[in-house]
Chain A
Amino acid sequence: MSAPTDEMTSTPQRSTWSARVVATVTGADARLTALAFVAAFLFGAVLLAVSDADAIAALEAGEGPAAFLGAALSAVGRGYTALLVGAFGSGGAVSETLVAATVLILTGLAVTIPLRAGLFNIGGEGQVVAGGLAGGYVGFAVEGLPLLVHLPLALAAAMAGGALVGWIPGVLKARTGAHEVISTIMLNNTLTFVAIWLLTTSLFQIPGRSDPISRSILDTARLPRPFGGLRVDVGIVLAVIIAGVVLWLLDRSTVGFELGAVGSNPSAATAAGMDVAGATVRGMTFAGIAGGLAGGALILGVQGRITPGFSSGLGFDGITVALLGRGTVGGTVAAGLLLGALKAGGRAMQARSGTSLDLVVVVQALIIVFVAAPGLVRALFRVRSEGASGTQISQGWGA
C-alpha cells in the first residue's frame, strides 16, 4: 500500500534475484549507505571493546560497569586512532592507502560497470588473476623494450586477459541464459587453479626453483614510483584515468545508455531496437578489462612477480566497493579510497595496537550486510523510508 494514488504506476517486477540486488544497490539512499558505514564501525567498536584484555579483566574482577566501560572505551579509542593514523598519519600511510585503493577502485569498477546492465559480476577474482597472469607474463618474458613500449604492452595484455575472462560469462549469459553469478564464481575457481598450475610450469617459474613463484617483472614493465621510497606508484593515476573513462562510458555515451536501459528494463530496451545480448556481452567484457587492469597494476606495481593467491579476496573487495559506491562511478572511486584507507589503516593498527586485522575484515563484511539490508539500517537509526516526504534522520539510538 505504498502507492498513494492509483495513478502512480509501478515498474514491473524483475524476476531475477541479481536484478533485485542491483535495484537495492543503485536505489539506495546515500544517507543509508553512509549510515551503513557508521553502523558497521559501531559494531566494530563493540567487538574491539569485548575483545580487549583490560576490559575483560575488569569484567572478570568484578570491578563494576564503570571500570569495564572505561577500559572498553579506551580500547576502542586506541584501536580506531591507530587505524586512522595508519591510513592518513604520514606520507607512508597515505602511500599505503593509495596502493590499496588502486586495486580496489579498479575491481570496484569491474562490478559497477555490469551492474548498470543488471549483471552482478562475482568474477572480479578470476579477472584479476587473468590480468595478473597475462600482464605479468609480458612483463617478464618480453625483453629488450623501452619502458614506454613495454609497460603499455604489459598493461594491454592485462586488460586483454581480463577481458577474455569477463567475455566468457557474458557470452554464456547472452547465448544460453547461464546465470552470470554462477559462471563467474566457477571461473574464479578455474582461474585460481590455472594460475597455480601455470606458476609451476617453465613458462612462469623461476628456473631452478621448485616453489610456484614467477620470474620478476622487468624494470621496463614496472609501474614507476614517483615518490622514491614510498610504495605508491602511477597505478593510482591509471585507476583514476580509467574511472574517468568509465564515467564517460556509463553516464555520457550511447553505449552506457544502452547498458542502463537493458539493466533497468530489458523488454523496453528490446522494444527500442537495442541489442540486449550484445549489451550483456559488452558489460561483462568491460568489467573484465577493469578487473584485468587491477591484476596488472598489482603485479606490475607493488608485487613485482606473480605468487599463488596474489588475488585472494580482491574480487570480493570490489563488490564491497561497488555496493558502497551505490553503483555510481564517483561513489566507486570514493569507496575505493575509503576501503583502501581501512585496509592500510588496519595493517598499521595490527602492528601498533595489536588489534587483529580480522577486525577490518569483519567491519568490511558488516558494511556489506548493512548496505544489502537497508531496512536494517533504517530500523537502527529510525530513518523513515524514502517514500515518506522529508525523510528525516532522528537523534539516533532510541531517541
Chain B
Amino acid sequence: MRLELRGITKRYPGVVANDAVDLTVEPGEVHGLLGENGAGKSTLMNVLYGLTQPDEGSILVDGVERQFADPGDAIAAGIGMVHQHFMLVPVFTVAENITLGMEPTDRFGRYDRRAANATVTELAERFGLPVDPDALVGDLPVGLQQRVEILKALARDARLLILDEPTAVLTPQEADGLFESIRGFQAAGRSVIFISHKLREHHEIADRITVLRRGRTIGTVDASTSEPQQLADMMVGRPVILTVDRAPARPGDVVLELDGVSVEAPDGRLLVDRVDLDVHAGEIVAIAGVEGNGQTPLVEALTGLRPVTAGTVTLAGRDVTGADRRTLLRGGVGHIPEDRNEHGLVGGFTIRDNLVLNLWDDERFAHGRTRRRDVIDEHATRMMDEFDVRAPSTTTTADALSGGNQQKVIVAREFARPIELLVAAQPTRGIDVGSIEYIHGRLVAKRDAGVGVLLVSSELDEVTALADRIAVMFRGHLVGPFPAPLAKEVIGLMMAGVDPAEAMAGEAA
C-alpha cells in the first residue's frame, strides 16, 4: 500500500497536536516515526486509524483520497494498528481473539472453533508467526500477546501495519524476533509504520525515518545515511549529549546490604528468591532484567512498601529489615518509584505540594500542625529552577505536566533531602530524550556526591550508560553483579535466563 498523509492538522483546545504534517509510506517500506512524548505521533496515528478526525488535510491510500470516520473504515482500507496497550480479551483463546468480530460460525450460528483455528494456523504459517490457537491469551508472555495483536491485524488483511512502541515491552531477543517478522511483511510488499523513541531501533529496522517535533514534520531522512546524533538533535531541537559523561566511580563504605532477601506474594508465591547484594557509597549498581522478574517486589520490599519475608536488609550498618516506609525515607533512603503516577505523585496536587509530599510534616515545612505555605512555595520555586521543571507556576497540578517534567518533580523531591541510598526504578521510562539526558546527569552527580545508587532498569542503554556494576534479575534470582562494562548482548542473554558463564563465553566465541 502507498499511503500519503497531506497537511494533516489537528487542533485541541490550547494546543496544535499536528500542524500540517506530511508523511508518505511507500509499498513495502518500513517507515520510522520518531519524536518525543507530545510531539504528535499518537495524534497522527489516531487520525490515520480513524480514532479522531483531522481539522485539515487529507489521507490518500494508493492515490485515492479516503476519509476514516472510525477504525472500521481504516481497517476496511487495509490499515491495521497494534496499540502499545494490547486490545485483547485475556480469557479468550488466541483464535477467538484473532477472529473476534468476524468469527466463523456454523449452520446454527455458533462459533466454529475448528474453522477459526484453521484460519489462524494458515495465517501464522504464511507470515512465519507461530502461535497455539487454543492457548488462552492471558497465559501468554507479552511477546506472544503482541504476536496475536499483529495476527489480528493481518487477519483483517492489513496492508499497512502501525506498530506503536512495539519494543517497549519486549526483551532484546523478543525484539529481534519482532524485527524478523517485520522484514517478513516487508518482503510480502506490506508497509509498516514503526513508532519508537529509541534511535537504535529505527536504524535497525526502518528504511526511512520521519521526525516530528511539537506537532510539525521536521524532516524525513534515509535510515542508512543518518546518524543517531543527527536524529536526536532533530527530535529535541538542540544538540543533545547521547552518552553520559562520567568519571570512574570511587566507591566508599557499604550503604545497602541485602542478605538472603526473599519476598513472597500474599498468595505465597516466591517473587524474590534469596537475593544477596551490596551497594557502596559513590557507585551505581544496576539491576537489569525484563519486567516481571522480581525487580518490582524487590524494590518495594527494600523501600518499605512490602514486607521482606526472609533475609536482612542493612542500611549504613543499621538493620532496617521490616522498617516502615516513613522510617526508611527519613532514615536516608531516596526512592524514584517505577510508576510515577501511582506511587510518585498525587496528580491532583500542585507541584509545590508534590515537592514536599514525603516531608509534609517536617519542621522545615510546618510549624506544629500548620503548614508553612510561604516556605513551601519558595522551596518549590527554587526546586523548579534548579531541576528544570517546566511549568507555568508552582501551583500547576502534577497531572498537567509532561512525563519528563513529572519525573523531574520526583527527582527534585528525592534529591533535595539528605539521602545515603537512592533507589531509582525505571527512572526514565516513557520520558523524552531531553529529560533522560538531564536525569542521567543528575544521577551521576548524586553518585559523585557519595550517594549509593541502586538503579533498576529494563533499558539496556540506560544500564550500560550509567552502571558501575551490573546485576541481572531473572525469575526472582539475582545474577551478579559484574563489574561494568558488560556487552549488551551478554546482558540480554542473561535477561533471557542464560547462565552468566555461558553468556559471556558465547560472546567471547
**Hey, which bits of chain A sit against chain B, CB under 8 A?**
1, 4-12, 248, 252-255, 257-258, 260-261, 264-265, 267-275, 387-390
Could you give 16 example pairs across A and B, Cβ below 8 Å? A1-B52, A4-B14, A5-B15, A6-B37, A9-B399, A10-B347, A253-B370, A254-B370, A261-B349, A264-B348, A265-B345, A265-B347, A268-B344, A273-B326, A273-B329, A387-B13
Given contact pairs A4-B14, A265-B347, A271 touches B370 in the complex (Cβ within 8 A): no
Given contact pairs A6-B37, A6-B41, A388 touches B13 in the complex (Cβ within 8 A): yes
Given contact pairs A255-B369, A389-B13, A6 touches B38 in the complex (Cβ within 8 A): yes
Interface residues on chain B, size class: 35 or more
Contact assessment for A272 and B358 in the assembled complex, using a CB-CB cutoff below 8 Å? yes
CA distance A275 to B329 in the complex (A): 14
**Hey, which bits of chain B sit against chain A, CB under 8 A?**
12-15, 17, 36-38, 40-43, 46, 51-52, 305, 324-326, 329-330, 335, 337, 341-349, 353, 357-358, 360-361, 366, 369-371, 373, 399-403, 406
* Chain A, residue nearest B376 (CB): A257
Please give me the 9 A-B residue pairs with the lowest Cβ-Cβ distance, nearest first: A7-B38, A4-B12, A273-B326, A11-B347, A389-B13, A6-B42, A272-B358, A7-B402, A271-B343
Contact assessment for B406 and A9 in the assembled complex, using a CB-CB cutoff below 8 Å? yes
CA distance A1 to B49 in the complex (A): 13
Contact assessment for A11 and B370 in the assembled complex, using a CB-CB cutoff below 8 Å? no
Chain A residues with CB under 8 Å of B15's CB are: 4-5
Given contact pairs A252-B371, A268-B342, A273-B358, A5 touches B40 in the complex (Cβ within 8 A): yes
Contact assessment for B14 and A268 in the assembled complex, using a CB-CB cutoff below 8 Å? no
The distance from the CB of B56 to the nearest CB of chain A, in whole angstroms, is 16
Chain A residues with CB under 8 Å of B326's CB are: 273-275
Contact assessment for A271 and B51 in the assembled complex, using a CB-CB cutoff below 8 Å? no
CA distance A10 to B403 in the complex (A): 10
CA distance A265 to B341 in the complex (A): 9
Contact assessment for A1 and B357 in the assembled complex, using a CB-CB cutoff below 8 Å? no
Chain A residues with CB under 8 Å of B14's CB are: 4, 389
The distance from the CB of A15 to the nearest CB of chain B, in whole angstroms, is 12
From the candidates B324, B329, B349, B403, name the one contacting A7 in the complex (CB within 8 A).
B403
Contact assessment for A254 and B360 in the assembled complex, using a CB-CB cutoff below 8 Å? yes
Chain B residues with CB under 8 Å of A253's CB are: 369-371
Contact assessment for B346 and A269 in the assembled complex, using a CB-CB cutoff below 8 Å? yes
Contact assessment for B369 and A254 in the assembled complex, using a CB-CB cutoff below 8 Å? yes
CA distance A6 to B403 in the complex (A): 10
13 further A-B pairs in the complex, CB-CB below 8 A; given A6-B41, A260-B349, A265-B345: A7-B37, A7-B38, A7-B403, A10-B399, A252-B371, A254-B361, A264-B347, A268-B343, A268-B357, A270-B343, A271-B343, A271-B344, A272-B360
The distance from the CB of A256 to the nearest CB of chain B, in whole angstroms, is 8
Contact assessment for A5 and B17 in the assembled complex, using a CB-CB cutoff below 8 Å? yes
The distance from the CB of B328 to the nearest CB of chain A, in whole angstroms, is 8
CA distance A272 to B305 in the complex (A): 10
From the candidates B12, B51, B406, name the one contacting A5 in the complex (CB within 8 A).
B12
CA distance A273 to B51 in the complex (A): 41
Chain B residues with CB under 8 Å of A8's CB are: 38, 400, 402
* Chain A, residue nearest B365 (CB): A254
CA distance A297 to B373 in the complex (A): 34
Chain B residues with CB under 8 Å of A271's CB are: 305, 325, 335, 337, 343-344, 358
The distance from the CB of B358 to the nearest CB of chain A, in whole angstroms, is 4
The distance from the CB of A326 to the nearest CB of chain B, in whole angstroms, is 14
* Chain A, residue nearest B42 (CB): A6
Chain A residues with CB under 8 Å of B353's CB are: 257
CA distance A12 to B343 in the complex (A): 10
From the candidates B38, B342, B366, name the one contacting A265 in the complex (CB within 8 A).
B342
CA distance A388 to B12 in the complex (A): 8
Contact assessment for A9 and B341 in the assembled complex, using a CB-CB cutoff below 8 Å? yes
The distance from the CB of A329 to the nearest CB of chain B, in whole angstroms, is 16
The distance from the CB of B162 to the nearest CB of chain A, in whole angstroms, is 14
Chain B residues with CB under 8 Å of A264's CB are: 346-349
Contact assessment for A252 and B373 in the assembled complex, using a CB-CB cutoff below 8 Å? yes
* Chain B, residue nearest A262 (CB): B346
Contact assessment for A270 and B325 in the assembled complex, using a CB-CB cutoff below 8 Å? yes
CA distance A255 to B36 in the complex (A): 39
From the candidates A5, A12, A272, A390, name the one contacting B38 in the complex (CB within 8 A).
A5
Which interface residue of A1, A252, A254 has the most chain B CB atoms within 10 A? Answer: A254
Which interface residue of A8, A265, A389 has the most chain B CB atoms within 10 A? Answer: A265
CA distance A267 to B337 in the complex (A): 11
Chain A residues with CB under 8 Å of B349's CB are: 260-261, 264
Given contact pairs A9-B403, A270-B305, A270-B325, A257 touches B360 in the complex (Cβ within 8 A): yes
CA distance A388 to B14 in the complex (A): 8
CA distance A270 to B304 in the complex (A): 10
* Chain B, residue nearest A387 (CB): B13
Chain B residues with CB under 8 Å of A268's CB are: 342-346, 357
Contact assessment for B342 and A267 in the assembled complex, using a CB-CB cutoff below 8 Å? yes
The distance from the CB of A115 to the nearest CB of chain B, in whole angstroms, is 13
